[in-house]
């Protein structure tokens, strides 16, 4: 019997690795990429290259204009922070699991409700496909402190899916796969390299140059560099 999984594919190394892990588990991949009004189109080009490399069954791109709301450096005319990881970035097993008194400020690169919107879209497509598995490349270890990358959020969405869909109320159990959740960036990269992934296809930068080149200074670039260093590997995007 065919095992279908809807994968949220951004073109970054995390979603690429998560998709490859689930593919290795025997799933046929249906990739969903969202044009949400981000600052640049380079990550969309990367998502297409990654989807082709993964040999997905279908790659669907849809537009949701989150830039109409703004509120983020990724969707509005707000400067992207440089040369300092966001206050929530961490490399400890309990990262993202904080008490109300220890919760850090959320960085300005957080896009309000982005993963909630993305997972809702993936859930809708999964229900149409007759799939019960959804894949997201969220990590709660090396990350920028986004609330929608935490285990509590993913657990809550999985419960929501059971009551928010026709399939759910008929007894179907949807599952959110987040295979990177407890991995550091270095561990993610080592896992991907072991799977033979080509990270030269990916894009991570929040604020790339005119030709799509990474800035090397935003949180995402710094976390990527940290990961490759920890993995003892050379980033193919760095010349």
Q: pLDDT of 108-162, one tens digit each?
A: 999 999 999 999 999 999 999 999 999 999 998 866 678 888 999 999 999 999 9
User: Quick one: how many helices (H) and strands (E) in the chain?
Assistant: 7, 5
| pLDDT tens digits for range 49-92 | 999 999 999 999 999 999 999 999 999 999 999 987 755 454 43
Mean pLDDT of the chain: 89
| pLDDT tens digits for range 30-59 | 999 999 988 778 999 999 999 999 999 999
Question: Does residue 108 lie within any of the structural domains?
Answer: yes
How far, in Å, are 19, 34, 88, 121, 183 from residue 207 at the CA level? Answer: 24, 18, 19, 26, 25
Token representation of residue 87: 């206050």
Q: How confident is the model at residue 95 (pLDDT cuts 50, 70, 90)?
A: very low
Mean pLDDT of 154-177: 95
Question: Does residue 237 lie within any of the structural domains?
Answer: no
Distance CA 110, CA 216 (A): 19
Q: How confident is the model at residue 101 (pLDDT cuts 50, 70, 90)?
A: very low
Q: Angle 163-178-131 (CA atoms, 0-180°, nearest 5)?
A: 50
SS3 166: helix
CATH number of the domain where residue 174 is located = 3.40.50.620
Question: Does residue 54 lie within any of the structural domains?
Answer: yes
Question: Does residue 236 lie within any of the structural domains?
Answer: no
Token representation of residue 119: 């997972």
pLDDT value of position 105: 74
pLDDT value of position 104: 55
pLDDT value of position 66: 92
Question: Does residue 197 lie within any of the structural domains?
Answer: yes
Question: Does residue 238 lie within any of the structural domains?
Answer: no
Provide the domain count of the chain.
1
**Is residue 4 packed enough to be buried (19+ CB in 10 Å), middle (13-18) or exposed (0-12)?**
middle
Question: Does residue 225 lie within any of the structural domains?
Answer: yes
Which domain range does residue 58 map to?
A: 4-231
Q: Which residues lie across from 8 on neighbouring strands?
A: 32
Question: Does residue 55 lie within any of the structural domains?
Answer: yes
Please give the distance of CA 6 from its chain centroid, rounded to a whole number. Answer: 13
pLDDT value of position 3: 94
pLDDT value of position 84: 75
Distance CA 73, CA 108 (A): 6
| pLDDT tens digits for range 185-200 | 999 999 999 999 999 9
pLDDT value of position 60: 98
């Amino acid at each position: 019997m065919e095992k279908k999984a809807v994968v949220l594919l951004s073109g970054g190394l995390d979603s690429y690795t998560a998709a490859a892990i689930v593919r290795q588990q025997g799933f046929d991949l249906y990739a969903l990429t969202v044009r949400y009004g981000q600052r640049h189109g380079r990550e969309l080009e990367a998502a297409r290259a990654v989807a082709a490399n993964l040999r997905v069954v279908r790659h669907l791109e849809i537009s949701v204009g989150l830039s109409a709301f703004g509120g983020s450096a990724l969707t509005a005319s707000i400067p992207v922070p440089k040369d300092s990881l966001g206050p929530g970035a961490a490399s400890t097993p309990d990262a993202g699991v904080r008490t109300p008194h220890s919760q850090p400020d959320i960085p300005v690169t957080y896009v309000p409700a982005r993963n909630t919107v993305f997972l809702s879209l993936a859930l809708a497509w999964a229900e149409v496909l007759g799939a019960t598995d959804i894949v997201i490349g969220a990590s709660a270890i090396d990350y920028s402190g986004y609330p929608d990358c935490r285990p509590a959020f993913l657990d809550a969405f999985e419960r929501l899916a059971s009551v928010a869909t026709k399939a759910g109320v008929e007894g179907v159990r949807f599952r959110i796969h987040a295979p990177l959740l407890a991995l550091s960036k270095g561990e993610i990269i080592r896992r991907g390299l072991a799977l033979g992934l080509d990270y030269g296809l990916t894009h991570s930068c929040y604020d790339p140059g005119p030709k799509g080149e990474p800035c090397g200074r935003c949180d995402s670039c710094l976390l990527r560099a940290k990961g490759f260093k920890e993995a003892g590997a050379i980033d193919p995007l760095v010349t």
